[in-house]
Structure 1
């Protein structure tokens, strides 16, 4: 696993136990935080959490005082979800309830696929499998996501990568 910096660890240490308690349906991290936990050497500016719409509502209530009401997600023409961004010590957290992607052929749900648990100092952090992360990132089609997918591929084929 690539190095988890203190800001990311502080955020995960606070949110992961709450996500396990308050989310009824399966949830996972996606994006740069998930790629880093899977072994890619990427920077992480925020933590993206993929949840159901109902669980997004629950988190919006639970974390209401932390919500950034003025933040607007980018690429609204490609992505839509029941979205909210929250301030946490360390990094911001973006919750995406029922995330959908439009690649020009209508809105389709983003499915995490097979989840794996990454252990991090006693935290069990669900992320999509390596193959599913690559699929998701490539479907997003943005330059930063394609780069993350390549870095995930490289980390998977590295002879130095140990089994978790």
Structure 2
């Protein structure tokens, strides 16, 4: 398991992960992982985190919508509906909001295709085991999303090429 330095994890991010990660391990039937800025930060990239993006199966997203029904933000509409679709919900948690994307698909102009997390690594964070894509897979995912903020995160991850978290065998 890759160990993460607590120093770069904000109190808000830690509070959110400490609450959701144990519940995700218990309630998700299929593999899940954290993606986006939170995963990039856990991998050691120098990025800011405004929310926690969780990639799940459609079935697990439905289970989480039931489990966290009282935390759901019903009025929130994610940006980029022309490029992204999923069984989506946003939840309020102490610390940061959590966005669950069940069965996330991406349309880069050639039809809808599932977003694959690729090879998962566990980031160890003060006793929490947080699944996230390998650094190479995070870069692939972020670059496929193509938004300016995602490309900036991918660039920050590329700066980690000497990091042991790259997941190269």
Query: Which range, TM-score by smaller chain?
Result: over 0.9
Of residues 45, 54, 58, the one that matches 2:63 is 58
Q: Which residue of 2 is the match for residue 136 of structure 1? A: 141
Of residues 32, 36, 39, the one that matches 2:37 is 32
Aligned-pair CA distance for 1:13: 0.1
Gaps of 5+ in 1: none
Aligned-pair CA distance for 1:156: 2.6
C-alpha offsets along residues 49-95 of structure 1, whole Å, 9 cap, x if unaligned? 00000000000000000000000010000000000000000000000
C-alpha offsets along residues 128-159 of structure 1, whole Å, 9 cap, x if unaligned? 001100000000000110110010010233xx
Distance between the aligned counterparts of 1:28 and 1:163, measured in 2? 15
Q: CA RMSD in A?
A: 1.3
Q: Which residue of 2 is the match for residue 151 of structure 1? A: 156
C-alpha offsets along residues 112-142 of structure 1, whole Å, 9 cap, x if unaligned? 0000000000000000001100000000000
What is the correspondence of 1:76-95 to structure 2 with a 5 Å cutoff?
76-95=81-100
CA contact (8 A) 2:43 2:165 kept: no
Secondary structure (helix, strand or coil) at the match of 2:121 reads strand
Gaps of 5+ in 2: none
Distance between the aligned counterparts of 1:163 and 1:135, measured in 2? 15
TM-score by length of 1: 0.95
C-alpha offsets along residues 15-68 of structure 1, whole Å, 9 cap, x if unaligned? 000000000000000000000000100000000000000000000000000000
Distance between the aligned counterparts of 2:66 and 2:164, measured in 1? 40
Distance between the aligned counterparts of 1:154 and 1:39, measured in 2? 10
TM-score by length of 2: 0.92
Distance between the aligned counterparts of 2:110 and 2:24, measured in 1? 33
Distance between the aligned counterparts of 1:38 and 1:108, measured in 2? 26
